[in-house]
């Protein structure tokens, strides 16, 4: 099968140079800071000005993070009993909750304990939705709330396969849940009770990642995607976009040289903080940290302020055709 390459008539998009990274590529050990927009707000129901809303939206669309150092997800005294790693089942790293149907998965708890944990995740899901609707109202009409997760397991030193090793730089893509070009907007909150930071590495801009890995990715087979859907391996049809993103995710993690030499900057998010980021375009690695909440939202590129900076549109310009 043919490999993906850059379209002959592909031209640089001026928006792609407005990324919020100042990382000099190609020099091992050189690390500069990722630009992060900080908002000193401590309420999930805060009201934001038009200027704050636009600045935050453009920040995350162009590869940055919006960081709330004082926006804490507060647990009740009763809920603090869930701050143990065995709140999840064996061989599971996350407890997941789907507010759309009330389903709780991955928990080792039963009965009243499981119900209380579900209520905790439901509360986080609602607070995260309120935050996104208030800060990013441009997205509200078409935003889809997906799963909520609780991550009580220490990220550092966890025994896992290279493909599931989130301490390696990667962009998010999910094998069983094709998003068919939709953005992955995520809200994270560090609830660690022992004062431990959540430590991330942030890698090079999405376009640079794609330029490195896209030429070696073979084109997908539409027939294979239909087979995966028919067998229930994927929940929806895997598009060519999903195929590329999965291959990019895997190749990034599998490439030891890339992991060792790729330019990156380290961020430390303390307990009591919250941050918002598009994890499908921001190359990231969770180096360490324990006890974190996370909420995923799906958004079609057309609903963005600037659809041209979405991974879908960047990849389509590179290959010269529609991918989803």
CATH no. for residue 91? 2.60.120
Distances (CA, A) of 156 to 66, 200, 285: 24, 11, 11
pLDDT score recorded for residue 207: 96
The arithmetic mean of pLDDT across residues 212-220, rounded, is: 93
Whether residue 231 is contained in a domain is answered as no
At 152-175, the pLDDT tens digits run: 999 998 878 999 999 999 999 999
pLDDT digits (tens, 9 = 90+) for 179-203: 999 999 999 999 999 999 999 999 9
Inside any domain, residue 76? yes
The residue-averaged pLDDT of 194-218 equals: 96
Is residue 251 classed as helix, strand or coil in its secondary structure? Answer: helix
Note whether residue 39 is domain-resident: yes
Q: What percent of the chain has pLDDT over 70?
A: 90
Domains: count for the chain: 1
The kind and range of the H/E element at 240 are helix 240-254
Strand order in the sheet with 95-98: 36-38, 65-68, 274-278, 183-190, 292-299, 144-151, 95-98, 103-105
Domain membership of residue 216 (yes or no) is no
Q: pTM of the prediction? A: 0.89
Please indicate, yes or no, if residue 251 is contained in any of the structural domains. no
pLDDT band for position 11 (50/70/90)? very low
The DSSP 8-state label assigned to residue 217 in this structure reads P
H or E, element range at 188? strand 183-190
Q: What is the pLDDT of residue 293?
A: 98
Residue 94: give the domain boundaries: 14-170+178-205+261-319
- Nearest to residue 131, comparing CAs of 74, 207, 203, 188? 188
Residue 15, pLDDT > 90, answer no
Q: How far is Cα 152 from Cα 56, in angstroms, rounded to an integer?
A: 29
pLDDT of amino acid 158: 84
Question: Residue 126: is its pLDDT beyond 60?
Answer: yes
Tell whether 163 is covered by a domain: yes
Evaluate whether 217 touches 248 at the Cβ level (below 8 Å): yes
Lowest mean pLDDT among 6-15, 31-40, 113-122, 257-266: 6-15
Distances (CA, A) of 93 to 15, 86, 211, 275: 37, 10, 32, 21
pLDDT of residue 224: 85
Of 165, 225, 155, nearest in space to 192 by CA: 155
- Asked, for residue 218, whether it belongs to a domain, the answer is no
DSSP calls for 74-102: PPPTGGGGG-SGGGBPTT---EEEETTTT
The reply to whether 224 falls in a domain is no
3-state secondary structure of 154: coil
How far, in Å, CA of 272 to CA of 83, rounded?
14
Identify the residue with better confidence: 162 or 34: 162
Select the more confidently predicted residue: 40 or 3.
40
Span 133-137, mean pLDDT?
A: 98
Let me know the angle formed at the C-alpha of 24 by 204 and 8, rounded to the nearest 5 degrees. Answer: 65
Distances (CA, A) of 129 to 122, 187, 208, 291: 11, 9, 31, 20
């Amino acid at each position: 099968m043919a490999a993906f390459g850059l379209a002959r008539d592909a031209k640089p998009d001026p928006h792609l140079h407005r990324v919020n990274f100042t990382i000099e590529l190609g020099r091992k050990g050189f690390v500069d800071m990722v630009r992060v927009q900080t908002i000193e707000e401590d309420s999930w129901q805060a009201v934001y000005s038009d200027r704050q809303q636009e600045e935050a939206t453009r920040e995350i669309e162009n590869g940055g993070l919006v960081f709330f150092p004082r926006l804490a997800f507060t647990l009740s005294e009763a809920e603090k009993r869930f701050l143990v790693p065995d709140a999840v089942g064996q061989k599971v790293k996350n407890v997941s909750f789907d507010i759309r149907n009330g389903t709780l998965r991955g928990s080792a708890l039963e009965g009243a304990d499981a119900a209380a944990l579900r209520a905790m995740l439901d509360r986080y899901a609602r607070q995260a939705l309120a935050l996104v609707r208030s800060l990013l109202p441009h997205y509200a009409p078409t935003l889809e709330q997906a799963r909520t997760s609780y991550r009580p397991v220490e990220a550092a030193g966890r025994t896992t396969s290279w493909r599931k090793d989130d301490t390696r730089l990667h962009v998010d893509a999910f094998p069983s849940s094709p998003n068919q070009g939709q953005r992955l907007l995520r809200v994270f909150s560090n609830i660690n009770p022992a004062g431990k930071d959540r430590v991330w590495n942030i890698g090079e801009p999405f376009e640079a990642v794609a330029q490195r890995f896209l030429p070696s990715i073979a084109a997908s087979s539409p027939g294979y995607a239909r087979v995966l859907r028919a067998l229930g391996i994927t929940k929806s049809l895997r598009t060519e976009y999903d195929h590329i993103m999965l291959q990019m995710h895997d190749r990034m993690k599998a490439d030891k040289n890339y992991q060792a030499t790729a330019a990156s900057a380290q961020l430390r998010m303390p307990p009591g903080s919250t941050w918002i980021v598009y994890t499908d375009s921001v190359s990231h690695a969770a180096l360490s940290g324990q006890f974190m909440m996370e909420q995923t939202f799906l958004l079609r590129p057309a609903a963005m302020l600037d659809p041209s900076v979405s991974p879908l549109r960047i990849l389509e310009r590179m290959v010269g055709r529609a991918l989803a």
